[in-house]
Structure 1
Amino acid sequence: MIIMIAAVAENNALGKNNELVWHLPNDFKRFKNLTSGHHIIMGRKTFESFPKPLPNRTHIVISRQENYKPEGCIVANSIEEAIKICPENEISYIIGGGEIYELGMIHSDKIELTLVHHSFEADAFFPEINMDDWKIIHSEFQAKDEKHLFDYTYQTYIRK
């Protein structure tokens, strides 16, 4: 099963200058809990935005650069190649960025989305979710608090 996981703003913003534009500690914990122990697929820029590889996950980095070989990672040249590397009967996650989400949409079975209830200036965006293809099966609102400056909602979509 291929699952896309993302935190997006109401205007589908993902980030700016290869960084998130919000800080939601509970969403980081949710991301860690869901993706730990699994293969994670990402673009090169997303991988390079991490200070180091994320622990307890197999990193598959999509890059067009021929000699790109980050330590401890598997490099693929396309989303299709990246998905073929993942174990067939296990959950694998597509974790970004915008271009990889766009390419991964047709390959995904499920979307785990954190909708941040705000709009942000950004240079990377999540693709529109076509509700003819997807349905929401879970939605859980989280109110802002002293550690979270914005309200947000966890949403789970499955392909129809």
Structure 2
Amino acid sequence: MVTMIAAAAENNALGKDNDLLWRLPDDFKRFKKLTSHHPIIMGRKTFESFDGLLPNRTHFVITRNENYDPGKGVYVVKSLSLALKIAQDLDENPFIIGGGEIYKMGLERTDKIELTRVHESFEDADTFFPDIAEEEWKLTEEVFHEKDEKHKYSFSYLTYERK
């Protein structure tokens, strides 16, 4: 099973200038809980937005740059297909974690989407999550989180499974 995990605004905004548009500590905790001990697949820019390797996860970075060397502990691959093939040999549930182009490429190869829907729109974003076609996906779980002192925006955890 391939799972895509993301946090996107009401207008599908993901980020701007290779950074998130919000900080939601509870969403970070959920991301860590769901992806720990599984391969994570991402584009180069997403990888470079991290401070370092995320603990307890095997990292796959997709790039066309044949000389890209992020260091020890990272698989560098030329395509999503190759990343998925290797990742699924290691673990039955790899996660696609971004960015925007990788999400677009991965949507047709994904079985499940774990989406945090941020209840706000961000018009100045430069990266967006693809539309989720209702005829292809079934919403199987929804959990609302009100804004509070740690969370500037309210949000919902949405789980979609392919029909």
* TM-score, length of structure 2 as denominator length: 0.96
Aligned equivalents of 1:142 and 1:55: distance in 2? 26
Q: 1:109 aligns with which of 97, 108, 111?
A: 111
Q: Deviations over 1:19-39 (max 9, x none)?
A: 001010000000000000000
Superposed displacement of residue 58, structure 1:
0.1
Aligned equivalents of 2:88 and 2:12: distance in 1? 30
Matched residues, number? 160
1:148 aligns with 2:154: no
- Consecutive unaligned residues of structure 2, counting only runs of 5 or more, are none
Aligned equivalents of 2:63 and 2:74: distance in 1? 12
Aligned equivalents of 2:81 and 2:120: distance in 1? 33
Match of 2:20 in 1: 20
Aligned equivalents of 1:87 and 1:113: distance in 2? 21
Aligned equivalents of 2:78 and 2:162: distance in 1? 26
SS for the counterpart of 2:33 is: helix
Match of 2:42 in 1: 42
* TM-score, length of structure 1 as denominator length: 0.98
* Percent of residue pairs bearing the same amino acid type: 61
- 5 Å-filtered alignment, 1:11-160, equals 11-71=11-71, 72-88=73-89, 90-120=92-122, 121-160=124-163
What is the letter of the counterpart of residue 90 of structure 1? E
- Consecutive unaligned residues of structure 1, counting only runs of 5 or more, are none
Aligned equivalents of 1:111 and 1:44: distance in 2? 21
RMSD: 0.8
Superposed displacement of residue 87, structure 1:
2.7
Moved over 4 A (4+): none
What is the letter of the counterpart of residue 98 of structure 2? G
